[in-house]
Amino acid sequence: MGLLVINPDGEIVTSNDAASGILGYACRTFEGRAWGELFLEGSGNQAFNQVILDVIKEKKVNLHRRVPYVQPGGKTLQLSITGSFLREDDQIAGVVLILHDVTELQLLHDREKQVLREKHRMERERAEGLTQLAMAIAHQIRNPVMSIGGFAMRILNKIDGNSLIAAYLKNILSDAERLEAIVRVVSEYTRIPTAQPVRVSVSDILEREMVQLQAKAAELSKRVTWSLEFSAVEFVVDPVLFRRVLYEVLLNAVEFLKGDEGSVTIFLSEEKNGLLMEVVDNGVGIAEKDMPYVFDPFFTTKAVGVGMGLCFARRIISEHGGNVRIDSEPGKGTQVIMRFPDQMPRP
Ligand SMILES: Nc1ncnc2c1ncn2[C@@H]1O[C@H](COP(=O)(O)OP(=O)(O)O)[C@@H](O)[C@H]1O
Ligand SMILES: [Mg+2]
């Protein structure tokens, strides 16, 4: 740790060897010399000098800054400086500077940042590669599956509908339909566009989506008591993708109600750094053993389900830089907590 004390006349009155070392001077060259004469003239060390000038001007105590410093030999260091204004009985006694050479630390930090950037780039490339693979597989499976289904249907139309062969064919048909649904949802997943966020009234979007869900609930013969606990909220999101998240989460809340009725509550509020949305139902809940898998692609506990809903929701939320969490008590209900930050992450 380097130490320098400068008196009100600008003279260096105290310094230690570490200070000379850090600043690139031989030991004991400082004592009695003027700070201005040593550092101010012709040096490229404005940021360094500015710390001292600011301490004096603003009479600061513990002014802390990290600045670059070029030694007389030309070597550039990163210094962490703490400067304090000294008073003695209301008299200006000088300025104390404490210097740390944090060049190595800064290099390490830069290198860490670079490694992290590289890691993100590789992850992105890997995700893009997987998406392309999924897209290609979905494309390759679509045609054979459609012909399997189509031919099964044609044979079924030609034979006795009550025969054993007809029962086999019906199985083939329903599995082909299931495969078609998977192919459809996978190709949809690979085509999720990048978010185009704009400032919108999320409460309006929510109210409109509710109409959709009420119709869906009626279709499923579910009697739902809806509670909306929010006032008008504006936020920056991609409205189309945001609706998709709402749809998937609200649909789950309706589908997993106990029997044919229950309640769904939606909270929406602005937080310090973003938007908080919660969907709470009093349905069947999620078994503890299933909890780790609910966001996985194709995980479903429905008899006929694709299991991509939460996968879609999470992908969209994380594209907005947000996160989603699910709490559930089996037999009591489920709570989906979603947070969207003010600032979207830059790609
Ligand atoms: N609100 C909820 N209540 C109970 N279980 C839920 C709820 N939301 C999600 N789940 C569980 O998570 C699974 C995956 O959900 P999702 O990805 O939407 O697929 P899907 O709706 O096609 O099953 C569901 O099958 C269910 O087991
Ligand atoms: Mg679902």
Enumerate the domain spans of the chain.
Answer: 2-101, 110-190, 198-341
187-218 tens-digit pLDDT: 999 899 999 999 999 999 999 999 999 999 99
Q: Please report which ligand is nearest the Cα atom of 256.
A: 1
What is the rounded distance in angstroms from the CA atom of residue 209 to the CA atom of residue 217? Answer: 12
- Atom of ligand 1 minimally distant from the CA of 248: 18
Beta carbons of 192 and 127 less than 8 angstroms apart: no
Q: Given ligand 1 and candidates 184, 251, 252, which is best to mutate, with the most ligand atoms within 8 Å of its CB?
A: 252
Q: Please report which ligand is nearest the Cα atom of 292.
A: 1
Asked: is 2-101 a CATH 3.30.450.20 domain? The reply is yes
Q: Please report which ligand is nearest the Cα atom of 308.
A: 1
- For 33-92, the three-class secondary structure string (H helix, E strand, C coil) is CEHHHHHHCCCCCHHHHHHHHHHHHHCCCCEEEEEEEECCCCCEEEEEEEEEEEEECCEE
CATH pick for 198-341 out of 3.90.45.10, 3.40.920.10, 3.30.565.10, 3.40.640.10: 3.30.565.10
pLDDT band at 274 (very low <50, low <70, confident <90, very high): very high
And the tokens for 197? 């966020």
Determine the pLDDT at residue 175. Answer: 93
Beta carbons of 262 and 222 less than 8 angstroms apart: yes
Determine the pLDDT at residue 142. Answer: 93
And the tokens for 20? 């000379």
On the question of pLDDT at 238 being above 70, the answer is: yes
**Higher per-residue pLDDT: 254 or 86:** 254
Nearest residue to 63 via CA among 78, 53, 75 = 53
> Beta 91-101 vs 2-6: how paired, if at all?
antiparallel
Distance 262 CA to ligand 2 centre (A): 17
> Beta 2-6 vs 12-15: how paired, if at all?
antiparallel
What is the rounded distance in angstroms from the CA atom of residue 329 to the CA atom of residue 287? Answer: 8
What is the rounded distance in angstroms from the CA atom of residue 52 to the CA atom of residue 46? Answer: 10
Average pLDDT on 314-327 reads: 94
Ligand 1 pocket (Cβ < 6 Å) reads: 248, 252-253, 256, 281, 283-286, 290, 294, 299-302, 305-311, 334
Place of tokens 């079924």: 156
Distance 274 CA to ligand 1 centre (A): 26
Distance 164 CA to ligand 1 centre (A): 35
**Higher per-residue pLDDT: 345 or 111:** 111
- For 269-299, the three-class secondary structure string (H helix, E strand, C coil) is EECCCEEEEEEEECCCCCCCCCHHHCCCCCC
Average pLDDT on 229-244 reads: 92
Intrachain domains 2-101 and 198-341 with the same fold: no
